[in-house]
Structure 1
Amino acid sequence: MEGIRTLKICFIGKYAPIQGGVSRENFWSAYALAQAGFEVHVVTNAQEVEYQYRTLEDAWFGHPQAHLKATARGKLTIHTSSSSLKHSYIPWANPFVTKLATMATEVITAYGCDLICGYYLEPYGVAAYLASRWTGVPYGLRHAGSDVGRLLLCPDLQTTYIQTILAADYIFTARSTLRRFLHLGIDLDKLYFPARSSLPTTYFHPDAPPLDINALVALVCRSVPETRYRGIYHRFADKPFDPSLPTIGIYGKLGLAKGSFDLLKALKQLHETGFKFNFLALTQGRLQTMFDFAQCIEEYGLTPATWLLPFIPHWSIPNFIRACTAVCFLERDFPIKIHQPGVPGEVFACGTCLILSQEIAEKQFYREKLRSGYNAYIVDARNISYLAATLKTALENPPASREIGMHGYYDISAGTEDFPAFVDNLASSFTIIQQDVVLRRNSMSIAEMQACLARLYVDDSFRMLFDLAPEASLDAYKLTDEEIAALKGIDKKMLQRFAASLKAKRRERLKYVYPLLFHLPGIDINRYFTRFYHLYPAKPHDSTLSRIQEFGSFMEQCLTTDEDTPPYASEIARYERLCHAAAFLPTPEDAFTHINATPATATTPLTLEDRPIIRPGCYAEMFAYDIVKIAHALREQQESGNLQTGQYYFVFQQVEIATHPKIFAVSSATYDLFMLCDGSHTIATLIHKMEKRFGREDLEKELLQMLQHLSSLRMIGVAKHE
């Protein structure tokens, strides 16, 4: 990890013994950074979590902390809140934000932390914001699904969350939320994709020893009060577990959208055939849901085959998975569309057969690799008969199910999970963020300083005032004490150093967006970039998206008359500018208020009275060269071949949850029709215009079909009537 500076980081968030994906991510991220040599301080309220979402804590499970202390180059310290009668007030609520913000401020001050990171908006993100305000230490945020997909949409909470987001120095985003943050007003330079996480492969692997279920049942009976959940764990623990029988397992929270009750209905059908099996449910959650689940088990006659078990620590989950012949994850109709559960990856990593809902299968980045019946079983959880048949197939031949599980391991997990690489990438990510934040904070101030300097050079009256009363003359500028002192001494070296760093950072950003342009032969790109930088100097609250688009337009104009460059150089600049615009410029549909909207799949038939309009995120352009073909050749470092000038028409279309657009080549007639779709003309009028243009009177059917096709591709919509 050469060049990576070890930092002191204050994490504010969920942690063990809190159950769930966010707690898991925080646990292993903190573990990874400590292994990388960082000093990590986790500020959490984990010990105050209610029992419904608390994992068992017992020495029987062991703890990764012992291994970390023996191997890590850094240090991990947990700071947890506690409850007290002195915290009481009316109306009562646990003051988590106040506790966490207080603890974080004290930790940051005592240990000299470089960065703060709050994972999940409530209460952790808000506490991170307060601690940053009080200490001056930069803070960032990472979101999950339910905070931005549910809490952020609550009118009585929204203002606080939006202000917390807007003030953040950096934000870890997902591809599903990138444009939503841009729509909210976050600058692109503040948005980072988190390092791709990896499960710790010393724990999650196909040779993990199976959990001793009978020993776990005995531990549950000893440590869980019989009053909890009205004793349902004890009710289902009155029999020995037979590991020789095939076993279906689930773990995680219960619910209709989790497919929990669909599974019980399918198990009922399987049980009624006389097939013998075990059912392990490692679960907790809302009281009523747990009662309903237990009642269904009893009503369906599944009690002799079922063991209900509470949550266990995440590092013991591989052992539970390995105790199962197959594990089900049947989530469907989940209300938060961006929810990305980690259970499928955990099961694949252990080489156990996974029975997965179609909805979750389609959300995975490896979805193209999934082959039902070969490396997993993909099912519609609501089709109970099919689910029951799949369960029987998986259970009646455990060796074949193990083979399917191992196919899943080799096809999905073996090439994905790499914890040592995750350690390096996460450390590198935070190092880059810390450097970027320092530069951004300085550049904001330096932009003010540059404006003040420029005025000193050109404004005689201001210069005279500065000589007579420097403090008064600088009141109009937001400057630090150090900068005021520097201006008094005109410390040009300091200014030059920061200016050079800022310039280099901007050049790298543009090079990333315009890679073909920066490597095009014959272009003196440094000369053009310097000229652009002088024309568009740093300004406070500058928009990175605007600057990127302005650079593309600037290069288009410059290269049009540059005879030393390839004839298509200007069009390459326009092509890359449009690719970036279609991928990143947010549309109204990117507002967080639309985060759970389901895109329409069926296309409504168009009528002659409809007024078609180009959908936001679509851009149609004419080029003098086949620019898509040229761009492909440049990427592959191939010759562009025989270049023919002409008229080439392309539509650039924004893609949901992607940072690259779809590009369609269209005919000149389609282009003309498309450009007429501005929402002000009815389809009847468009047909009349096109018939007049082509000198024909029989195009209605053909043009209606074309418009319907464009609508099905979501390139056009229908303008609402006023």
Structure 2
Amino acid sequence: MRICLISKYPPIQGGISAKTYWLAQGLAERGIETHVVTNGNCVESEYRIEDNPPEPQPNLHIHFIDPDIPWHIPFSDLYVPKLLDKALQVTRENQIDLIDTGFLIPYGIVGYLLSEITGIPYVLRHGGSDLEKFLRQGAFNELLKKVIRKASAIITDNHNKEVFQSLNSRLCMIPRYIPDERSFKPAVSPHGTPTLAYIGKINYYWKYKSLHRIAEIFSGLKGDYRLIFVGQGKGFEDFSQFVSGHDLVGFEFRQFVHPANMPRLLNEIDFLICFSKDNPINDFSNVFCEALWSGVRVLTDDTMDLGTYTEHIELTDEVQIVNLPIDDVGATRTKITEIIKYWEGPQKHSNRLKYDFNSYIDANLKAYR
């Protein structure tokens, strides 16, 4: 089988890009000739991964769009025609059997147009923000309904199926993401200081990520620890100025890492900080899931839907997830101080998987049929 996967892909940072990366790896490993068409080469510098990517597998082919377009009025990046043009070239040159799309806009629209032109069936996937910002808000209402209705299959999950049921009965229930346990597994990187990390974007609306709470909680917090912010974004300068106004000690900023290097980063840390209270879109978090698979403890809050993550993994120790009362800065600071004080060196939790990466790839291949 030959598939054309149109989606976000590294060097774009983010959940959809990372999920597409691991899915493409899994498909190619199964012998599926996988062609990824992406505008990843055009991503803004604030959201670009600068890590060197690993060499792709022999039957995994990455096709970037042409970044150059003539100047025109009103100016537009023209991602739909750029992606469509590249996808048409890929389908013509490689006898593609199936089109897969990683996000409703623009990739789902491109998949629909490509299918209309070539007659090749397409599968539609979604994220979380595309549902909230576009579909549920009625943006591009007529177009998106057409794209959904015409899809040969909709890959969704039980949490979002109601969005599509009235438009398309061909729903395939697959978990949003399952980490590859061969990469995301408990492994200790020796270090002598408890290490906590926030991993993600730092957008204009960085308070939606509860980054202001993290700064306030760690302001003046004493003890021997490291606090790492692994993130970039258009709000980085604003947030770094905010941090400079707080008495944070032992902290550092790092740039994004490639999905292939995320397991190594998680092995370096002891605690992932992942709050959801301030996010208007309480969406699925890849890195929360990857942390659990890697045996990393997660500091979160009471708004996080933990069932979404523990549905496919059985935690051997409930202390791996720590719910913090982040509305009470003092109480949260006290709790984290205790965690740091009683840290006994780097260690990881070993859990039992209920659903593995192999099953995840099997489910995707079944949807293709």
Partner-residue secondary structure (3-state), 1:374: helix
Structure 1 equivalent of residue 63 of structure 2: 79
Residues 462-512 of structure 1, C-alpha deviation per residue, up to 9 Å, x if partnerless?
xxxxxxxxxxxxxxxxxxxxxxxxxxxxxxxxxxxxxxxxxxxxxxxxxxx
Structure 2 distance, partners of 1:350, 1:195, is 18
RMSD: 2.4
When residues 21 and 141 of structure 1 are mapped into structure 2, their CA distance, relative to the original with a 3 A threshold, is same
Q: Give the counterpart letter for 1:259 in structure 2.
A: S
- 2:195 maps to 247
How many Å separate the matches in 1 of 2:363 and 2:185? 21
CA contact (8 A) 2:38 2:63 kept: yes
Q: Residue 294 in 1 paired to residue 277 in 2? A: no
1:503 aligned residue: none
Decide whether aligned partners of structure 1 residues 112 and 156 sit closer, same or farther in structure 2, where only a CA change above 3 A counts: same
Residues 383 and 372 (structure 1), Cα distance of their counterparts in 2 relative to 1, 3 Å cut: farther
Q: Aligned to 2:208, which of 254, 257, 279?
A: 257
Query: Under a length normalisation based on structure 2, what TM-score does the superposition of the two structures give?
Result: 0.91
Give 1 or 2: higher strand fraction. Answer: 2
- Separation in 2 of the partners of 1:332 and 1:199? 25
Alpha-carbon distance, 1:17 to partner: 1.0
- Which residue among 356, 359, 364 is the counterpart of 2:300? 356
CA offsets 1:689-710 (integer angstroms, 9 cap, x no match)? xxxxxxxxxxxxxxxxxxxxxx
1:347 correspondence with 2:341: no
Instruction: Confirm or deny that 1:279 pairs with 2:227.
Output: yes
- The alignment of Structure 1 onto Structure 2 pairs a total of residues equal to 365
Question: Residues 418 and 127 (structure 1 numbering): CA distance in 2 closer, same or farther, change over 3 Å?
Answer: same
2:11 is the counterpart of 1:17: yes
SS at match of 1:257: helix
| Matched residue, 1:435 | none
State the AA in 2 paired with 1:347: A
Whole-Å Cα distance in 2 between the matches of residues 195 and 114 of structure 1?
Answer: 24
Q: 1:83 to 1:365 in 2, by over 3 A?
A: closer
Equivalent residues in 2 for 1:481-560 (5 A)? none
**Is the partner of 2:263 in helix, strand or coil?**
helix
In structure 2, the residue corresponding to 1:88 is in which secondary structure?
A: coil
- Rate the CA distance shift 1:369–1:10 in 2: closer, same or farther, 3 A: closer
Residues in 1 aligned to 2:303 and 2:95: alpha-carbon distance in whole angstroms = 45
**Are residue 152 (structure 1) and residue 110 (structure 2) matched?**
no
Note if contact 1:326-1:401 (Cα within 8 Å) is conserved in structure 2: no
Distance 1:22 1:417, change over 3 A: same
Q: Are the structure 2 counterparts of residues 145 and 366 from structure 1 closer, same or farther at C-alpha, using a change threshold of 3 Å? A: same
Q: Structure 2: how far apart are the matches of 1:326 and 1:336?
A: 23
Query: Structure 2: which amino acid aligns with 1:50?
Result: E
Kindly state the Cα deviation for residue 78 of structure 1 after the two structures are TM-superposed: 0.8
Please identify, of 75-84 and 289-298, the stretch whose mean Cα deviation from structure 2 is larger. Answer: 289-298
Residue 185 of structure 2 corresponds to residue 205 of structure 1: yes
8 Å contact 1:132–1:138 — kept in the other structure?
A: yes
Structure-2 separation of matches of 1:151 and 1:395: 42
Percent identical across equivalent pairs? 25
Aligned to 2:32: 38
Q: 1:179 aligns with which of 162, 182, 194?
A: 162
Q: Given the superposition, is the C-alpha separation of residues 174 and 424 from structure 1 closer, same or farther in structure 2, using an over 3 Å criterion?
A: closer
Superposition deviation, residue 82 in structure 1? 2.5
Contact 2:83 2:110 in 1 (8 A): yes
CA contact (8 A) 2:157 2:175 kept: no
Q: Which amino acid aligns with 1:264?
A: A
SS in 1 for 2:319: coil
- What residue identity is the alignment partner of 2:281? I
CA change 1:372–1:91 in 2 (3 A) is: farther
The gaps in structure 2 that reach 5 residues or longer are none
SS at match of 2:178: coil
Provide the C-alpha distance between the structure 2 equivalents of 1:326 and 1:177, rounded to a whole number of angstroms: 30
TM-score, length of structure 1 as denominator length = 0.48
1:164-186 superposed Cα distances (whole Å, 9 cap, x missing partner): 11222211122122122123x32
In the alignment, does 2:110 pair up with 1:162?
no
Distance in 2 separating the partners of 1:366 and 1:200: 16
Q: In structure 2, what is the equivalent of residue 332 of structure 1?
A: 277
The structure-2 alpha-carbon separation of the partners of 1:277 and 1:375, relative to structure 1 and needing over 3 Å to count, comes to: closer
Deviation at 1:280, TM superposition (A): 0.7
Aligned-pair CA distance for 1:369? 6.4
- What's the counterpart of residue 222 of structure 1? none
Q: Which residue of 1 aligns with 2:111?
A: 128
1:117 counterpart letter in structure 2: D
Indicate if the aligned counterparts of 2:194 and 2:345 stay in contact, CA closer than 8 A.
Answer: no
* Secondary structure in structure 1 of the residue aligned to 2:320: coil
For residues 607-631 of structure 1, the C-alpha deviation after alignment (integer angstroms, 9 at most, x for no partner) is: xxxxxxxxxxxxxxxxxxxxxxxxx
Which secondary structure does the structure 1 equivalent of 2:120 belong to?
A: coil
Deviation at 1:421, TM superposition (A): 3.2
Question: 2:41 aligned with 1:47, yes or no?
Answer: yes
Q: Residues 140 and 38 from structure 1, CA distance in 2 versus in 1: closer, same or farther, beyond 3 angstroms?
A: same
Aligned position for 1:422: 360
> Which of 159, 168, 171 is the aligned partner of 1:191?
171
> 2 CA distance for matches of 1:291 and 1:146?
24
**Amino acid paired to 2:253:** L
**What is the CA distance between 1:361 and its match in structure 2?**
4.1
Distance 1:195 1:174, change over 3 A: closer
Aligned to 2:72: 89
2:116 is matched by which residue type in structure 1? R
| Aligned partner letter, 2:295 | G
Are 1:63 and 2:80 counterparts?
Answer: no
- Using a 3 Å threshold, how does the CA distance of structure 1 residues 196 and 53 change in structure 2: closer, same or farther? closer
Once the two structures are superposed, the pairs formed by residues 555-570 of structure 1 within 5 Å of their partners are none
Q: Distance in 1 between matches of 2:304 and 2:138?
A: 30
Task: Tell me how far apart the structure 2 counterparts of residues 64 and 113 of structure 1 sit (CA, whole Å).
Answer: 23
